Amino acid sequence: MRLVTAAAAALALSALHVIRLGGCDSRASSLLAPRRRPGKGLRPATRLVLEIPVMEGCRNVPENAVVFKNMSVGMVGKSDFVLNGGFEITREAKDIGEVQIEFTKCREQQSANTCEHFQTWRFNKGVCSLLFKPNTMWSRFHDYVAPRPTCPVKVGQYTIRNATLDMKTLQSLPLPLEGNVWFVKFSQIEPSGKVHTCTDTELRFHRAKD
């Protein structure tokens, strides 16, 4: 199974403030209309869930310091996907000068001609603080890694157990999640310009009944 790293998975004082470098609009929910139970002819309530079928070290990146091992997808309950496995950091970095996140959007997993480069985000100020800010797309992921990663991440073996990303944060991002397969390349780059870690992650979103 192919394998974005715990340091790597595809940022904020609030998620949108950091990632978009601006504010975000949110739809106010109506408090006046009473909630109706699903009845005949009505669809039951659903929610968006995330599956991470692939998380692996980027190929063709010389001296990539992250190696993923024994990655697998599991289930918690009837509809929630989790990621298990581990990774090894093989080379030390003195500092991280930039984080780069590349998003590729595909309509279908198997057909490359449906894929297009969507966006690239670059962050080069306060990078290590940013990596551990709450309410970022990966902050929850760190909670499932032992030992907990640092920045720069130290050489050694790490275990990933029942990991996922924060759906609330993901849904607040300026990304059309539903109906697409997303490939995210997450790179941590040393001040010299050399890539320390690079992770490729595939994200799929599904509708599940509450």
Q: Across the chain, where does the E strand assignment appear?
A: 46-57, 66-76, 80-89, 98-106, 115-123, 145-146, 156-163, 181-189, 195-209
3-state secondary structure of 41: coil
pTM: 0.74
Each of the 210 residues of the chain gets a pLDDT tens digit; together they read 433 333 343 333 333 333 333 333 333 333 233 344 444 555 558 888 888 899 999 999 989 999 999 999 887 766 678 899 999 999 999 999 999 999 999 986 656 678 999 999 999 999 988 888 887 777 788 889 999 999 999 999 999 999 888 788 888 888 888 888 999 999 999 999 999 999 999 999 888 776
d(CA 66, CA 56): 9
What's the pLDDT score for residue 10?
37
- C-alpha 123 chain-centroid distance: 16
